[in-house]
Structure 1
Amino acid sequence: MASTSTDLKLIFVCFILLSTIIPHALSASDECKLSQSSSCNDKAKALPLKIIAIVSILVTSMIGVCLPLFTRSIPALQPDRNLFLIVKSFAAGIILATGFMHVLPDSFDMLWSDCLKENPWHKFPFSGFLAMLSAIATLMVDSLATSLYTRKCNTGVIPDGSISVEGDQEMQAAVSSGQHVHSHQLHHGVLKAESGDNSQLLRYRVVAMVLELGIVVHSVVIGLSLGASNNTCSIKGLVAALCFHQMFEGMGLGGCILQAEYKLLKKALMVFFFSVTTPFGIGLGMALSKTYKENSPNALVTVGLLNASSAGLLIYMALVDLLAADFMGPKMQANIKLQLKSYVAVLLGAGGMSVMAKWA
């Protein structure tokens, strides 16, 4: 399928961009010297914690993203059931809180650091500005990708002229029985229903791909920071928080992948990329721990800007493509009780992830 190769190219482009941007942050010569307590800094003790982090985060990521993919065998958790929407709302709350409570505040902290020059970094809120631009750019990508995929899909559909001819032939064949109007209306109704289903499926596929790309970016960044750190006090809290985060963020992504109805190979590739990005970032941070300095201006600017971009994308996806799409959909609009349950699920997800901000 043409869209499959296009989607894979987007993921590879994302990794290429990260590989070209991150090395610019690996400057040790201009490290900012800040007074820090070294009681928790122990490289020997930090190494086994990082290995535990790689394994545990990999396992929880795979469990989280795979759980929704196996719900078709469980009637209560199928995409057309109420429970699926409630669980999806909970996961969307996790993603929303990740953007607001974790990624965006980290970006503000980095770009307002005393290690950066007063001008321009302390004169303008670059984090908020870039998050806003990222959200607008995500809207553009979201809209354009949907339009392009819709046009590509429509090239395989019978042209309008052919439909009219077919409809006229059916009408002529049914004139003698007096059913020509009903036949034409039924035929036209089926075509409209199929067109609507295809449009919704394309929408789900675009949402799944854009969300995956946003998660890949911020997962590599947080993994890089953990892998480069030797602070055992912070690593212990980070491991638990990231496992919780990856589990439920994966559930949100897995729900989108399930609704996109990808083939097995495409599902496996998306599960793989989501599951390995944070462990990959940790491994990269460990490999570059001697040259990567968290307080160097280059590192602060690069990671801060990446975090701001990722935050804007995640906030947009959570609010527009996940929450608004479901809450404004016909199923929830027709069921007030389901809306209330989903509101509670969103608050629980966002609240739980917000509490995690104390450690991560």
Structure 2
Amino acid sequence: MRHTRNRRLSRRDDGDTPNCGDGGGADTFFALRVASVFIVLIGSLLGALFPVLARRSKSLKIPTSVYDFAKYFGSGVIIATAFIHLLDPAIEELGDSDCLDPKWGDYPYALALTLLSVFATFIVEIIAFRWGSAKLAAIGVTNIPRGHGVITHDPDDPQFNHGVDEEKLHADSASVVLAQNPTGFVADSAATKMLGIAILEFGILLHSVFIGLTLAVDPNFKILFIVIVFHQTFEGLGVGSRLAYLDLPKKYSYVPIVGALLYGITTPIGIAVGLGIRTTYNPFSTTASIVSGILDSISAGILIYTGLVELLAHEFLFSKDMMNGSNSKIIYAVTWMLLGCGIMALLGKWA
């Protein structure tokens, strides 16, 4: 997330030549910038950790509908983040910056990198399903993924026992074994959820550092600060609600907490680093534009793939509970998702 629409406002003292290298970022509101490290940290951790800890608490009996709200609202936030807060800035950073050679505008590099990121994520997921399934089975996650679900094979059930090689089914848990499913849908897999949340969190963490760097030195601090607090909290709810429902063996129960903590600390670390190098780091420089544009493009591709495939397709089309659920349940989920997407897209007007 970068305030690239004000990029042309970063000028040298003469007001005509863009400041593309020398000097640092803005140094106004320094005390508030320092306080933002802790405020953003609290908001991020609250959003990501609360669902994880609340679900494990025996005293807090939070209705499932609250977790559903956080999950679907967060899904909308993540999808809007990909298009509005990552892809759009990347296009400006790699094609509409005064500090870049005009040749950068001859080709849509940001879109090309985003496209590359989408297919790279897809290929990584294929490899992970084929190779990683056996590794996950070794630690107790034994569900066999089929696309974005899991085959539930019962040898005593004639509906599922149509010549499937039982030895092959159990000997090679990394293989995709076709079995008839009379419902047309497949159940959720712990292995699928683990891989999906890992890809999602990687894409989010990749751009979180630059969010922090930008907040530390951007001249439009007040507006950007408010937007980032909301952004990190809402996005944290989406990540945390999914981490809370990871079905892992007991000895790996710490993984969701570690994931929530990583999300919570990344942006504050970026802010702290930005404050430390504020006298030399110019967010409008040529190097910063290129690096940020590339990372924003890659992050956008990851979140677009994850948002559309893992969050939309997997949570709705490939979810047995959702597709067999009532119309009111689907309307509830879609409404909160659209609201989250709409609010985050609206915040793009100021950041």
TM-score of the superposed pair, with normalisation by structure 2: 0.75
Q: Distance in 1 between matches of 2:135 and 2:253?
A: 22
Greater mean alpha carbon deviation, residues 142-151 or residues 95-104 = 142-151
Aligned CA RMSD, in angstroms, stands at 3.0
Q: In structure 2, do the counterparts of structure 1 residues 331 and 83 end up closer, same or farther at CA, with 3 Å as the change threshold?
A: farther
Match of 2:240 in 1: 254
What code does the residue aligned with 1:220 have? V
Q: Distance in 2 between matches of 1:304 and 1:214?
A: 14
Following TM superposition, the consecutive aligned residue runs of length 4 or more in structure 1 with deviations greater than 6 angstroms are 186-192, 195-199
Q: Secondary structure at the match of 1:260?
A: coil
Q: Structure 1 stretches of 5 or more lacking a match?
A: 1-31, 36-40, 158-182
Q: Distance in 1 between matches of 2:203 and 2:42?
A: 21
Q: In structure 2, do the counterparts of structure 1 residues 189 and 224 end up closer, same or farther at CA, with 3 Å as the change threshold?
A: same
Match of 1:185 in 2: 156
Answer whether contact 1:58 1:275 (CA < 8 A) is retained. yes
Match of 1:318 among 307, 321, 344: 307
Same amino acid, percent of matched pairs: 30
Q: In structure 2, do the counterparts of structure 1 residues 139 and 42 end up closer, same or farther at CA, with 3 Å as the change threshold?
A: closer
Cα deviation, residue 98, structure 1: 0.6
Q: In structure 2, do the counterparts of structure 1 residues 98 and 153 end up closer, same or farther at CA, with 3 Å as the change threshold?
A: closer
Q: Distance in 1 between matches of 2:276 and 2:66?
A: 43
Q: Distance in 1 between matches of 2:109 and 2:290?
A: 10
Q: Distance in 2 between matches of 1:42 and 1:199?
A: 48
Cα deviation, residue 149, structure 1: 2.2
What code does the residue aligned with 2:332 have? K
Match of 2:214 among 214, 225, 232: 225
What code does the residue aligned with 1:34 have? P
Match of 1:164 in 2: none
Q: In structure 2, do the counterparts of structure 1 residues 156 and 68 end up closer, same or farther at CA, with 3 Å as the change threshold?
A: closer
Q: Distance in 2 between matches of 1:71 and 1:323?
A: 25
What code does the residue aligned with 2:31 have? P
Q: Distance in 2 between matches of 1:132 and 1:184?
A: 43
Match of 1:118 in 2: 102
Match of 2:18 in 1: 34
Answer whether contact 1:225 1:282 (CA < 8 A) is retained. yes
Q: Structure 2 stretches of 5 or more lacking a match?
A: 1-15, 20-24, 141-153, 174-178, 180-185
Match of 1:346 among 309, 328, 337: 337
Q: Secondary structure at the match of 1:261?
A: coil
Cα deviation, residue 316, structure 1: 1.2
Match of 1:149 in 2: 132
Match of 2:201 among 190, 193, 212: 212
Cα deviation, residue 155, structure 1: 5.5
What code does the residue aligned with 2:125 have? D
Match of 1:289 among 275, 278, 288: 278
Cα deviation, residue 102, structure 1: 0.8
Answer whether contact 2:26 2:217 (CA < 8 A) is retained. no
Cα deviation, residue 137, structure 1: 0.9
TM-score of the superposed pair, with normalisation by structure 1: 0.73
The structure that is helix-richer by fraction is 1
Match of 1:49 among 32, 37, 41: 32
Cα deviation, residue 60, structure 1: 0.6
Cα deviation, residue 249, structure 1: 0.8
Q: Secondary structure at the match of 1:316?
A: helix
Cα deviation, residue 306, structure 1: 0.6
1:237 and 2:244 aligned: no
Q: Secondary structure at the match of 1:359?
A: coil
Q: In structure 2, do the counterparts of structure 1 residues 237 and 136 end up closer, same or farther at CA, with 3 Å as the change threshold?
A: same
